[in-house]
Amino acid sequence: MVAPPSLTDDAVLEQLGINVIRGLAMDAPQRANSGHPGTAMALAPLAHVLFSKIMRFDPSEPEWPDRDRFVLSNGHASILLYSMLYLTGYGLTLDDLKAFRQLNSQTPGHPERRHTPGVEVTTGPLGQGFADGVGMGIAERFLRAQFGSEACDHFTFVICGDGCLQEGISHEAASLAGHLGLGKLVYIYDDNHITIDGPTELSYTDNRVERFEAYGWDVDPIGEVANDTVALEDAIRRAMAVEDKPSLIVLRSHIGWPSPNFTDTKEAHGDPLGEDEIRLTKEILGLPPQEAFWVPDEVLDLYRGSIERGQAERSEWETRLAGSKVDRTRWDAALRGHGVPGWSDTLPTFEVGEKIATRKAVNTCINATLGAIPGLVAGAADLTGNTGVKLDEGGGMQSVENPGGRQIYYGIREHAMGAAMTGMALHGGVLPVGGTFFVFSDYMRGAVRLAALSRAHVIYSWTHDSVGLGEDGPTHQPIEQLASLRAMPGIQVVRPADATETAEAWKRAVDGDEPTGLILSRQAIPVLAETAGRAAEGVARGAYVLRHEEGERPEIILIGTGAEVHVCLEAADRLAASGVAVRVVSMPCWEWFEDQDDEYRSSVLPEGVVRLAVEAAASFGWDRYADDSVSIDTFGTSAPGTVALEWFGFTPDNVAERARRLLDATRDH
């Protein structure tokens, strides 16, 4: 690769700063004996340009709402981001860099949102950050359209690599971004021709320029200028001037440059260079070859100028916002991802005995509260009406006609939808609600996991939640999804028993600050008399006694979730008629129940009482709460929903019989 252009006296310090970044990129993985130095070394000039010449940010106020956003989609190059956060003054120290990838450090192996100040999104699984950036672009344009440029007017910058572009999620996300015509979205593709296996030509011969042009992006292949800061800045500013489409800058870099033995090799991708190679490389760069983590004061002063500059830019924004006509109540609620004060007063109520699918109940809740939740944006993966996220007002988001539309038509792109929702939530100002059939939550799983890890405030409307969906059969009938999502830390999995519980679940999901999955029925189920007086308190606690037993103590407890709760109530009628003291518990959310104290949990599920769980899903996990379960541990069947449910035993008669058998077996012991 060509050397950097000859330096003027004014550029000497900047080049030293770039070389210091390269030194840190070598030293931290070497100290950890783990990490990815090569990409960070090659992209040091790009990071320098972005952080010192392009982006608007205030390290003293990392959450300033109108800052530019930066996403390192190829998160394995995390040492590049950590080095810039340290140098520009986000609170990281040299000791933090020395603790790279170590226990409880501020510099984990891949960037984590809410763990390290200045990290906007959690990245590492390739392609996720690419799609998160699209969500951030959606959020910025939505807020600008809703509240005006005085409140919101900034860019999202994304660095991505070959791995990001090879993962299928990038195809979906790029297509969506192009369709929506998202300006203020600038991606720099690090085309370094190296993956872990070796040269990208082993598996990757796409024409990336033509691919992104076909998606509707502005594409600028700038070639071999990774060391030319002037060319890099010019390219980025050209992209920033494109207002009606996202931009992709294709940058040909050389991984590990200027390592004499490992430039352009797979070894520079995923392994520390070794002490000898680092010494040789530092000699080329003019750094002290024997000194690790060397940062001279003049370099630190150069980058710490970001603090004063950012504070001035933030102050200008605060003055603009204060002098604008922005409704601060709605703006503040949007930033929090919550409703305006009193928003839940607009929640609907439902008539006892009415039969309504919980997917339709959530749609009633969303539309009733839409006006009081200013950041709410809803959409689905080509299933808008089916999944309860169809908005009565707000219109479809379009690139020109309605950039502030509150309805997003994601198309058949579950992967991109899930990650874009995470990006919107972590950008701030948007409460994204997204829907698909529950079985297709598997397509979203990578994004859902990162949302949980990031504590992103998103709401998933996952519908058609059991074999009760009917004739579409085993390919569309979820079985293991409930258990698998309950096993994931950080997500609240809620399966409401009826429309009344759905309204309470919607309230808690909106008021919360974590991802929530609403698991909703296709089929109509009765609005229960029992939930009318108890759900308001009970749902938020995860489980509650829906019907108390006759007598001082129950002989058996039936625990139901979702559409099976009314089956439990009817089975309880049969058991009670034969003299059994039976309690019915609705358990919409395991996670919320686990948050309760021991006294409450034992009041709902007293020790020493036989328990039978009833849920049209896999039995896995129910041994935590129940002695046995009426469940499904095979794939489903193609039949009308009522027939399928009866076939698998979700009838009052079968549940009552299973309860009697469980009681008899317990008494025999």
6 pLDDT above the threshold of 70: no
Mean pLDDT computed over 217-232: 98
Percent of the chain that is helix, strand, coil (3-state, to 5): 45, 15, 40
Angle, helices 445-454/128-147, rounded to nearest 10 degrees: 70
Query: How many Cα atoms sit within 13 Å of 281 on the Cβ side?
Result: 30
The pLDDT, as a whole number, for residue 591 is 98
Q: What is the mean pLDDT of residues 219-226?
A: 98
Using pLDDT thresholds of 50, 70 and 90, give the confidence band for residue 419: very high
Most confident of 7-11, 192-196, 329-333: 329-333
Mean pLDDT for the stretch of residues 306-316: 98
What's the confidence (pLDDT) of residue 9?
A: 60
- Predicted pLDDT of residue 142: 98
Q: Do residues 82 and 94 lie in contact, with contact meaning Cβ atoms separated by under 8 Å? A: no
Burial class (CB in 10 A: 0-12, 13-18, 19+), 168: exposed
Q: What percent of the chain has pLDDT over 90?
A: 97
Residue percentage of the chain with pLDDT more than 70: 99
- What pLDDT, in 10s, does the model give residues 232-263? 999 999 999 999 999 999 999 999 999 999 99
Instruction: Report, as an integer, the average pLDDT of 280-304.
Output: 97
* Predicted pLDDT of residue 476: 98
pLDDT at 374 over 60: yes
Q: Which of 267, 414, 549, 564 is catalytic?
A: 414
End-to-end CA distance of the chain: 78
Q: Which domains does the chain have, with CATH numbers?
A: 9-315 (3.40.50.970), 343-526 (3.40.50.970), 539-668 (3.40.50.920)
Q: Can you give the pLDDT at residue 667?
A: 81
Q: Work out the pLDDT band at 22, boundaries 50, 70, 90.
A: very high
pLDDT of 591-625, one tens digit each? 999 999 999 999 999 999 999 999 999 999 999 99
Residue 5 has pLDDT above 60, yes or no: no
What's the rounded mean pLDDT across residues 183-191?
98
What 3-state class would DSSP assign to 367?
A: helix
Residue 651 DSSP one-character state = S
Are 109 and 422 in contact by the 8 Å Cβ rule? The answer is no
> What is the overall mean pLDDT for the chain?
97
Mean of the pLDDT values across residues 53-76?
98
Between CA 61 and CA 307 the distance in angstroms is 9
- The span from the CA of 297 to the CA of 286, in Å, is 16
Mean pLDDT along residues 46-66: 98
Count of helices and strands (H, E) across the chain: 25, 20
Query: DSSP E strands: which ranges in 361-480?
Result: 376-380, 407-409, 431-437, 459-463
CB atoms within 10 A of CB 260: 11
The CA distances from residue 426 to 138, 419, 655, in Å, are 12, 11, 44
Nearest CA among 361, 363, 417 for reference residue 388: 363
Q: Which two tokens stand for residue 558?
A: 């039936």
- Burial annotation 199-220 (CB, 10 A radius, 16+ → b, else e): ebeeeeeeebbebbeebbbbbb
- Contact assessment for residue 375 and residue 397, using Cβ atoms and an 8 Å cutoff: no
pLDDT at 668: 72
Question: What is the distance between the alpha carbons of residues 610 and 605, in angstroms, rounded to a whole number?
Answer: 10
414 is catalytic: yes
- CA-CA distance, 391 to 209, in Å (whole number)? 37
Parallel, antiparallel, or unpaired: how do β-strands 525-526 and 355-356 relate?
antiparallel
In tens, the pLDDT along 377-386 reads: 999 999 999 9
Mean pLDDT throughout 520-530?
A: 98
- Strands 247-251 and 218-223, sheet pairing: parallel
Q: What is the pLDDT of residue 344?
A: 98
Averaged pLDDT, 412-441:
98
Split at pLDDT 50, 70, 90, the class of 399 is confident
pLDDT computed for residue 2 by the predictor: 47
